C-alpha cells in the first residue's frame, strides 16, 4: 500500500500536430477526493482515458494503483470503478438484473440492495433500464461504478441531469465512500460540487495545468483577496480589492455614514477558476503569437 493511487509525470498526448495534453504532472493521494477541472477541450477527458487504460499516451510516465494503465490486466481493472459521461444502452434488463450481473464480475462486490438504496433507485429496481429518465439512468451509472467496491473511483461529470436535491444526496453518497477509504478522481463543471467534495484540485487549460493545490488554497492568496463594493453619493458603483476589508468599510463609515449597497465579496472557487482559465488562455495566445513571429 503506497501513499499515492495515481502518479503522473510529464504526460503528453498528441494527435499529429495537435497537442491535447502538454506535459502535465500530478499525484493523487490514497483516500482523497481530487477534482480535475477545466473547460471542454482542455484535455481532461484525454487524461482520464489514459489513466483508465482506454487511451495510449504519447509520452510520460503514468502509474495507477502502482500499475501502468497500458498494461493493466483484469485484476487491476477489478480495483477500479468508472462512471463515464455516458454509457451504452442496455434497455432489455431491469435495474436489479443489470447490477446483479455487474456485481458478479468482481471478487468482493457490494450488496446489490445496498447499492440500489444508496443511489435512490429502490422504487425503480424492477424497471427496465430503457424506461428510466435521464437522471435515473445517471444514478444507475453511478451504481454500476461502485458495485465492485473499488479502491479508486473515476467520476466523469457524475451529476449531469440531477436535480438539486438529487445532487446533494449524491454528495452524501460520495462522502460515505470517501469515509470508507475510497480514492476518487472527479471531473465536474459544477464548481460548487468540486468545492463540496474535493480535498485538492487541479485546473487544466489548453492541455496544461494552470494551478494545483488544496481546494481552499488553489490559485494562491492573491486570488482570494476580498472585494468591498458600494454605491457612492453620485450613484456610481465602486469596488476595492483589499486583504483588509474591515478597514475599508470603517473608512467608508467615517467618510459619510453607512454606504449604500455595501457588500464584501469573497472569491468563490468558481471566481478563482474563471480567473485561472482566462489567464491561461491569454498566455496561450501570447505563445502562439511568438511562434508565428
Sequence-ordered list of residues with C-beta below 8 angstroms from that of 138, at least 6 positions apart, any chain: 158, 159, 160, 161, 162
Query: Is pLDDT at 195 greater than 50 in this prediction?
Result: yes
Reported as a single tens digit per residue, the pLDDT across 46-99 is 999 999 999 999 999 999 999 999 999 999 999 999 988 766 666 789 999 999
Whether the pLDDT of residue 233 is over 50: the answer is yes
Mean of pLDDT over the chain: 87
Q: pLDDT above 90 covers what percent of the chain?
A: 52
Q: What is the pLDDT of residue 116?
A: 93
Q: For 122-158, how does the pLDDT look when each residue is reduced to its tens digit (9 = 90+)?
A: 999 999 998 988 888 888 988 999 999 999 999 988 8
Q: Which three cell numbers stand for residue 219?
A: 490559485
Going by the DSSP 8-state scheme, the letter that residue 266 receives in this structure is P
Q: Which pLDDT belongs to residue 9?
A: 97
Q: What is the pLDDT of residue 86?
A: 67
- What pLDDT does 287 receive? 36
pLDDT at 284: 45
| Average pLDDT score over residue span 240-250 | 88
Give mean pLDDT, residues 105-112.
Answer: 92
60-74 burial by CB neighbour count: b if 16+ within 10 A, else e? bebbbbebebeebee
State yes or no: pLDDT of 281 exceeds 70: no
Between 223 and 148, name the one with better pLDDT: 148
For the segment 157-181, the average pLDDT, to the nearest whole number, is: 85
Report the pLDDT averaged over residues 24-34.
96
What CA–CA distance (Å, rounded) separates 57 from 45?
13
What's the pTM value of the predicted model, to 2 decimals? 0.81
Q: At what angle do helices 134-146 and 95-103 cross, to 10 degrees?
A: 20
Amino acid at each position: 500500500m503506497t501513499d499515492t493511487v495515481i502518479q503522473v509525470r510529464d504526460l503528453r498526448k498528441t494527435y499529429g500536430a495537435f497537442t491535447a495534453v502538454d506535459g502535465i504532472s500530478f499525484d493523487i493521494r490514497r483516500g482523497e477526493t481530487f477534482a480535475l477541472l477545466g473547460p471542454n477541450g482542455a484535455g481532461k477527458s484525454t487524461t482520464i482515458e489514459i489513466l483508465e487504460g482506454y487511451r495510449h499516451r504519447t509520452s510520460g510516465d503514468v502509474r495507477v494503483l502502482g500499475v501502468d494503465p497500458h498494461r493493466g490486466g483484469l485484476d487491476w481493472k477489478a480495483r477500479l470503478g468508472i462512471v463515464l459521461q455516458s454509457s451504452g444502452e442496455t434497455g432489455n434488463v431491469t435495474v436489479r438484473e443489470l447490477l446483479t450481473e455487474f456485481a458478479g464480475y468482481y471478487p468482493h462486490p457490494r450488496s446489490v440492495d445496498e447499492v440500489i438504496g444508496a443511489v435512490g433507485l429502490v422504487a425503480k429496481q424492477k424497471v427496465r433500464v430503457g424506461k428510466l429518465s435521464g437522471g435515473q439512468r445517471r444514478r444507475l451509472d453511478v451504481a454500476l461504478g461502485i458495485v465492485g467496491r473499488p479502491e479508486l473511483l473515476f467520476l466523469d461529470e457524475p451529476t449531469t441531469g440531477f436535480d438539486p436535491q438529487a445532487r446533494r444526496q449524491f454528495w452524501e453518497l460520495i462522502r460515505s465512500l470517501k469515509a470508507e477509504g475510497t480514492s476518487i478522481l472527479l471531473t465536474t463543471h459544477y464548481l460548487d460540487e468540486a468545492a463540496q467534495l474535493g480535498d485538492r484540485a487541479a485546473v487544466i487549460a489548453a492541455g496544461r495545468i494552470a494551478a494545483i493545490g488544496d481546494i481552499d488554497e488553489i490559485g494562491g492568496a492573491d486570488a482570494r483577496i476580498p472585494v468591498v463594493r458600494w454605491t457612492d453619493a453620485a450613484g456610481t458603483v465602486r469596488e476595492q480589492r483589499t486583504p483588509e476589508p474591515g478597514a475599508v468599510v470603517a473608512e467608508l463609515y467615517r467618510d459619510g455614514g453607512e454606504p449604500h449597497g455595501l457588500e464584501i465579496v469573497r472569491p468563490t472557487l468558481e471566481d478563482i477558476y474563471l480567473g485561472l482559465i482566462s489567464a491561461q488562455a491569454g498566455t496561450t495566445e501570447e505563445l502562439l503569437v511568438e511562434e508565428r513571429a
